[in-house]
């Protein structure tokens, strides 16, 4: 069964049928009346106040219908959107983004309908850019994006969180801290909580507060059990960078395997944490990315002394 994208508009109903020289419908769906009546339609275009549709798949006529508070339009999910979403869920973000752009352009005549395929595709285009770390591309896409047709709370909230990523792009750390603080007491799903923690970690690093940064990066790693792989990867790399630059860790590395090694020292404990994160990066956080060469020493064999 095809998924439906539900839309409801609130104006008096008016039906006007005209003959079209050439009909090119975009998307099938249903007109649903509050009394239970349902009509199969093939949508041609839409505005905020009306839709234009073919009454049958092979019709040579277009009906213009002004929508009322008693009418709901249920759009079938386009196969193109389903295919792009499958790529997105498989974390093939570069491929998915190209497909979302195609969907966005193809279904623009329906852009005024709530949660229409064009606007949904445009939203997921921004998500693909964010997840691949293309903050310049995200800024450009956000500049062209209108959220007016979206109603889903999680998506609208993500668009607000994207303001934080814009401040990260601009390295406006004071603004990042202020925006993160705005959400501090909000109940958020794990993926969005992970984003906040990672961005807060960046702020702590700029303030030369590595211990606080490590704490927030670890929150980012665990907020949704590592399911936000892009945030987990970024956080793991920042954790490793902090430990790599830590003097106590450098000393623990130098003494590792020697008679002077102190396995109870703070440096040894930090080194153990770095080793654990490096191993997790290789097992899961890194995805297709290799562990950067500068962190390979965390996984090197203990030298014979």
The model's pLDDT over 79-92, given as tens digits with 9 standing for 90+, comes to: 999 999 999 999 99
Q: What percent of the chain has a predicted confidence (pLDDT) above 70? A: 90
Residue 12 has pLDDT above 60, yes or no: no
Task: Encode pLDDT of 25-40 as tens digits.
Answer: 899 999 988 877 889 9
Q: What is the mean pLDDT of residues 246-267?
A: 93
Q: Is the dihedral of CA 45, 51, 55, 56 positive or negative?
A: positive
Residue 224 has pLDDT above 50, yes or no: yes
When mean pLDDT is compared across 4-18, 115-129, 257-271, the lowest value belongs to 4-18
Q: At 191, is the pLDDT very low, low, confident or very high (cuts 50, 70, 90)? A: very high
Q: At 17, is the pLDDT very low, low, confident or very high (cuts 50, 70, 90)? A: low
Residue 300 has pLDDT above 90, yes or no: no
Q: At 284, is the pLDDT very low, low, confident or very high (cuts 50, 70, 90)? A: confident
Q: What is the mean pLDDT of residues 113-138?
A: 97
Residue 2 has pLDDT above 80, yes or no: no
Q: What percent of the chain has a predicted confidence (pLDDT) above 90? A: 73
Q: What is the mean pLDDT of residues 74-80?
A: 94
Whole-prediction pTM: 0.88
Q: What is the mean pLDDT of residues 283-301?
A: 85
Residue scoring higher pLDDT (289 or 86)? 86
pLDDT of residue 71: 81
Task: Please state, in angstroms and rounded to a whole number, the distance separating the CA atoms of residues 195 and 138.
Answer: 15
Task: Encode pLDDT of 230-247 as tens digits.
Answer: 999 999 999 999 999 999
Residue 286 has pLDDT above 90, yes or no: no
């Amino acid at each position: 069964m095809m998924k439906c994208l539900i839309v409801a508009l609130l104006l008096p109903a008016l039906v006007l049928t005209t003959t079209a020289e050439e009909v090119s419908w975009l998307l099938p769906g249903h007109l649903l009346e509050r009394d239970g009546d349902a009509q199969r339609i093939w949508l041609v275009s839409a505005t905020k106040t009306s839709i234009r549709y073919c009454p049958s798949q092979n019709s040579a006529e277009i009906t213009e219908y002004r929508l009322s508070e008693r009418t709901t339009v249920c759009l079938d999910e386009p196969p193109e959107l389903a295919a792009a979403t499958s790529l997105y869920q498989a974390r093939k973000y570069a491929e998915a983004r190209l497909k979302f752009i195609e969907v966005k352009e193809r279904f623009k005549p329906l852009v005024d309908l709530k949660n229409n395929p064009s606007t949904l595709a445009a939203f997921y285009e921004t998500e693909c850019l964010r997840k691949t770390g293309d903050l310049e591309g995200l800024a450009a896409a956000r500049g062209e994006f209108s959220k007016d047709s979206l109603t889903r709370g999680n998506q609208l909230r993500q668009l607000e969180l994207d303001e934080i990523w814009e401040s990260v792009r601009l390295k406006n750390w004071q603004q990042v801290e202020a925006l993160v603080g705005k959400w501090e007491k909000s109940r958020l799903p794990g993926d969005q909580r992970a984003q906040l923690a990672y961005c807060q970690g960046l702020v702590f690093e700029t303030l030369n507060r590595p211990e606080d940064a490590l704490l927030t990066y670890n929150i980012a790693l665990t907020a949704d059990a590592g399911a936000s792989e892009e945030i987990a990867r970024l956080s793991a790399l920042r954790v490793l960078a902090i430990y790599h630059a830590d003097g106590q860790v450098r000393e623990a590395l130098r003494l590792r395997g020697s008679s002077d090694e102190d396995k109870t020292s703070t440096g040894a404990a930090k080194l153990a944490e770095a080793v654990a994160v490096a191993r997790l990066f290789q097992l899961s956080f890194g995805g297709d990315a290799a562990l950067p060469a500068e962190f390979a020493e965390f996984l090197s064999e203990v030298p014979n002394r």
